[in-house]
Structure 1
């Protein structure tokens, strides 16, 4: 499989003397390392992003993106498949209290990035014909001490759709709009981004540097460059719910030492990178991907989600893993 991918990528380099020389001297492993390094270059991503509409993020695979803007009381559905297409825009009703949701019963609609984890029908009439269940509080919410549950995107009581002007924290739309949304939305590829103000569009410069950072992190991980690997993380890192960078550093040092002489396989696919709205005053990025990792007899295959902070323009650190 790796050989096939490398063969398909070779035309990108036009069989330059450099790539042929790397292959002559170091074989396919050397060639693979060279290509992995290329992925960590902003120059590579400048070319790769030419056919991507990255105004609201980067998506490897088709995605249904729901943008909820609380200040405008508006929900927009975009389909993304390289290009961004607006499918629907509708007024909404949100929690009766202003601000980000912090605790159970505060009547606020949360701010952040959420997955839709279920579709419910046969509900009480006050919820309309159906409801989409979000994963609030997600892992990041819980790290920040937020609690509560049951944040849904739902409908309204039949015959009273014009009477309600607030919820207890959910997002509500009129029933016909909800049914139309239901026909267009694929739950397994949907992402809900809730922000207080309209989401700022992402610049090409920022996205290419962020993607280069993600693949530099991968490169240092795959090739056992321990000190460079640690530099990708914030000293305030939260790792497996532990707020202790020294614990993380020592744990990873043991793992790297154990795998020092082992060849690693590390692949990222289904990469999603979107701004993460928050009430902390930070510029954050939500990054999720399917990870395939193999080293020795250990294999991991599953979804990974991290949070990246941009402390200053085009300089990033992982703050949650």
Structure 2
């Protein structure tokens, strides 16, 4: 597109009516307009789009709705000159040009490519614009976040259902939304179960590495952050597969359709580069959900305080040296290596018989709800254990389950 001169476009009389302009918007983005326009999100929160390219595309749509059609055309024209690989913007531009001659029946009316490609662009448009129509704003947080550890400076939350990836700062235990990006996930859908099903897993994962683009095929674009799928919970449930990454897109591509990977999460290269120095190996959580519930910070605090009581009971019961008291914090379905619940309780009884005292310290605590599992929570902390026979300091991860009686109990635990 570079160097080409574009003549001013004169839009015909039928776009002077509000209904016609709204029809153009619907055709462009396959969406019904919500009251308040694109700039107003859920519950009236002001929205400042993170991606500047996406913000400009949204601004063009808003201009169409406000009868600033030349402004819309100029905005999109400028966008594709700067980002010629942004195919969605190119298609919008083509539709705006076509609109000067005839009303548009649907988004992609001018598309000359394969129908599958046009369908992919329609899906991308729907995902991008729906996000701005329903953006939760900065006053709400995902319900999966209960407590953040001081060593987790950033938290990534990916919503497969809306093709959106959210980046939070941890500010003294308070999650603050600092960025959100359009995202591609597995073409097989969500909830990975087995190798080769092309699905994106749902769960709580952690970054395990950072792979420089120089050592990767071009498919992964600006680099990659592998995560620890299958995690301990996946393994317990017999889920298989490997190689789930958060990565970029091929260098000749600006973005990919919402469902296009083999199970990984992919974001535009400029967005991956923005996160490159922020995500930390072994520390940064990557929480993958298929739909997010957004709650107030007060609700988050109440849920955190409530669960802290269960964790404190586990800690003090451990210090009691009474194996039966300690065991009440564990599910009957608990297994520890080759030991089932009954064998593990007996093992604890024998160990505690020689102890005169036990002290258990808990530091660096994080607690997350497990997406897709409404009664499972993932708890990670630094355990400082002291007794007359053993002193140790380990990083521990537990999976707690809320059982039929309403009590939270540990179903799985181990070192990390």
Give the gaps of 5 or more residues in structure 2: 1-140
1:75 aligned to 149, 165, 178, which one? 165
| Structure 2 counterpart of 1:252 | 348
* 8 Å Cα contact 1:58/1:273 also seen in 2: yes
1:120 aligned to 207, 211, 230, which one? 211
Name the CA distance, whole Å, in 1 between partners of 2:272 and 2:195.
26
| Structure 1 counterpart of 2:399 | 307
Cα drift, residue 297 of structure 1: 3.6
Structure 1 residues 80-229: aligned runs within 5 Å: 80=170, 81-121=172-212, 122=214, 123-164=216-257, 165-199=259-293, 201=295, 203-229=300-326
Between stretches 298-307 and 160-169, larger displacement belongs to 160-169
Name the CA distance, whole Å, in 2 between partners of 1:295 and 1:253.
15
| Structure 2 counterpart of 1:296 | 388
Normalised by the length of structure 1, the TM-score is 0.77
Q: Deviations over 1:104-126 (max 9, x none)?
A: 11101001101101000121011
Secondary structure at the aligned position of 1:269 is classed as: strand
**Distance verdict in 2 for CA 1:163–1:204, change over 3 Å:** closer
Name the CA distance, whole Å, in 1 between partners of 2:148 and 2:221.
32
Secondary structure at the aligned position of 1:86 is classed as: strand
**Distance verdict in 2 for CA 1:57–1:293, change over 3 Å:** same
- Max radius of gyration: which structure? 2
1:231 aligned to 301, 304, 328, which one? 328
* 8 Å Cα contact 1:100/1:110 also seen in 2: yes
Name the CA distance, whole Å, in 1 between partners of 2:189 and 2:287.
17
Between stretches 205-214 and 183-192, larger displacement belongs to 183-192
Cα drift, residue 256 of structure 1: 1.9
Name the CA distance, whole Å, in 1 between partners of 2:294 and 2:407.
18
Give the gaps of 5 or more residues in structure 1: 1-52
Q: Deviations over 1:27-81 (max 9, x none)?
A: xxxxxxxxxxxxxxxxxxxxxxxxxx99521124152111011101110010112
* 8 Å Cα contact 1:206/1:313 also seen in 2: no
Cα drift, residue 182 of structure 1: 1.1
Cα drift, residue 225 of structure 1: 2.6
| Structure 2 counterpart of 1:319 | 411
Name the CA distance, whole Å, in 2 between partners of 1:57 and 1:272.
8
* 8 Å Cα contact 1:282/1:309 also seen in 2: no
Q: Deviations over 1:165-203 (max 9, x none)?
A: 510000000000000011333445311111111145454
Q: Deviations over 1:209-267 (max 9, x none)?
A: 21111111010101213222111111111323x472111111111122222xx222321
Q: How many residues align?
A: 264
Q: Which runs of 4+ in 1 moved over 4 A?
A: none
Cα drift, residue 296 of structure 1: 2.4
Normalised by the length of structure 2, the TM-score is 0.60
More strand per residue:
1
* 8 Å Cα contact 1:131/1:153 also seen in 2: yes
| Structure 2 counterpart of 1:273 | 367
